[in-house]
Amino acid sequence: MIVHDSFFIGGRWVAPESDGSFDVISPITEEIYGRIPVAVPADIDRAVAAARHAFEEGEWPRMSIDQRCEAMTRFAKCLEPLVGEAIDLQINEMGGVRKFIGPATQTCLGQRIYDGIDVVRQLPLREVRDGAFGKVIVTRDPVGVVAAIVPWNVPLSGLMLKLVPALLTGCPIVIKPSPDSPLSSHVIGDAAIAAGLPAGVINIVPGDRDVGQYLVAHPGVDKVSFTGSSAAGRHVGATCGGMLRPCTLELGGKSAGIILDDFDLDGQFDVVMNKTMLNNGQLCVANTRILVPAHREQQVIDRFAAAIAARKIGDPRDPDTDWGPLPGERHRDRVEGFIRSGIEEGATLAVGGGRPVMTKGWYVNPTIFSGVTNDMRIAREEIFGPVISLIRYDTIEDAVRIANDSDYGLGGGIFTSDIERGAMLAERIDTGSLVVNDGIFAGGGGPFGGRKQSGLGLENGPEGMASHYKFRSVSLAPGQAFDLARAEALA
């Protein structure tokens, strides 16, 4: 059993303020896998105070971009030897399969930092613009202390999406991991110590929803970066709205993947599997509504049936397992409730349903519903499990209408043999990030964020970085000359 007895505050592991603890139950064994202290408001106070001190008095926000990039490169190097541990911790705390958690962790603890460094180096801290009303000097300052709230389903990828832009822009961060997958965040603290990052720049305080609310409303916080369900995001947004506090909300989804009539179902079906079922279907961007030309529905059902039969459900620690357990009994019951509702509302259970035979763990079979209409609960609500709804369409107009008829607008996919046709069709979908075939969501430095109930604001790329700055315009009289180099020499 892994026992953590401290929080990472002010650059070191410190004893918690209360003696309460909670157990992390392994979804694989149903036994206690780890124990961590319960954060109380006094722990959050200490973490925010450490971050505030780092922001107001410390060197981090005052460093040059080059110095911060150097420090972050050191941090990435110190994370490298911890990647294996980070993968194992996540698999055991939330049941994700090695096949997915492995590469996702390698990317988020390595390449994501280097990508962030490339982006921040391209953003000028001072820029002179010239227009009809004269010159204006646009400058940016770090927004301040960032409170980052992270969900359980991609513990370290979610955390690093917040940590990298915050730190690179000069903002100390207080991270609250989910109580359902809190153990893996320890590697971040260990690497921060090894890299010699200044005290208070990173603070990690796992805790429950109440402590999350306390952090969101804390007077010492300048910006909230939240990832989680739309229901929780609404609360966070309301709190931040009341305080006029900037926030980024990355929330749930019910994304549509549109299979076009020209898509190569025989040669390329793995692509559809990747975009629907990865991480047990527990990805915010999973294409959980698959829109199929009516005449191809049976072919798609057959491909899903064959692909599922050829893949493995089982222990997520094994490198060849495709589906592991859901993270808890309550979550499994919820997913099964959706499967029942699909049957009750008249969809056809085409593949799966029920549970695989396993001695331990909260498993459900990968499940495909056909004949789904877009008004059914399984088409409208986020299930967060391996349950896919096939919805028939007749024309492209019909497909676009169905895809856009959703409360959410997070992900989406176009599956086609004609890339340009796919890319242009993607522009008609009212959603934040799409892929054509096997594209990576917002890969290559795109902004990532939801529309409608899927969120507010953006992460990733220059747009995600920009939300960690406060901007200022200094205007000169029309016609006034300005020597930027001289001004910078005076700074």
Q: Is 250 a catalytic residue?
A: yes
Closer to ligand NAD by Cβ: residue 149 or 197: 149
| Residues 325-364: x where in contact with ligand NAD by CB under 6 A, - otherwise, as a string | ----------------------------------------
- Reading the block at residue 225, the tokens are 């970066």
Instruction: Name which position in 27, 61, 151, 155 contacts ligand NAD (CB under 6 A).
Output: 151
Judge whether 392 and 379 are in contact, CB under 8 Å.
no
| Active-site residue (options: 93, 250, 336, 459) | 250
Instruction: Name which position in 16, 102, 237, 252 contacts ligand NAD (CB under 6 A).
Output: 252
- Reading the block at residue 26, the tokens are 């392994």
| Residues 155-174: x where in contact with ligand NAD by CB under 6 A, - otherwise, as a string | ---x----------------
**450 touching ligand NAD, by CB under 6 A:** yes
Residue 248 neighbours by CB distance under 10 Å = 27
**250 touching ligand NAD, by CB under 6 A:** yes
Q: Which amino acid is at 173?
A: I
Closer to ligand NAD by Cβ: residue 175 or 347: 175
| Residues 282-321: x where in contact with ligand NAD by CB under 6 A, - otherwise, as a string | --x-------------------------------------
Three-state secondary structure call for residue 125:
coil
Name every residue whose Cβ is closer than 8 Å to that of residue 191 and which is 6 or more positions away in sequence: 75, 78, 79, 82
Instruction: Name which position in 97, 175, 232, 307 contacts ligand NAD (CB under 6 A).
Output: 232
Judge whether 252 and 288 are in contact, CB under 8 Å.
no
Site size with ligand NAD, rule: CB under 6 A? 30
Query: How many residues can be counted in the chain?
Result: 491
Residue with tokens 């050829």: 310
323: nearest Cα among 151, 84, 95, 103: 95
Q: Which amino acid is at 116?
A: G
Closer to ligand NAD by Cβ: residue 58 or 116: 116
Least Cβ distance, residue 463 to ligand NAD (angstroms): 14
**386 touching ligand NAD, by CB under 6 A:** no
**212 touching ligand NAD, by CB under 6 A:** yes
User: For residue 101, which phi and psi values (nearest 5 degrees)?
Assistant: -65, -35
Q: Which helix (DSSP H) or strand (DSSP E) does residue 235 occupy?
A: helix 230-243
The 8-class DSSP code of residue 11 comes to: T
235: nearest Cα among 252, 207, 216, 221: 216
List contacts with ligand NAD (CB under 6 A): 149-154, 158, 176, 178, 208-209, 212-213, 216, 227-229, 232, 235-236, 250-253, 284, 382, 384, 410, 450, 455
Catalytic residues: 250
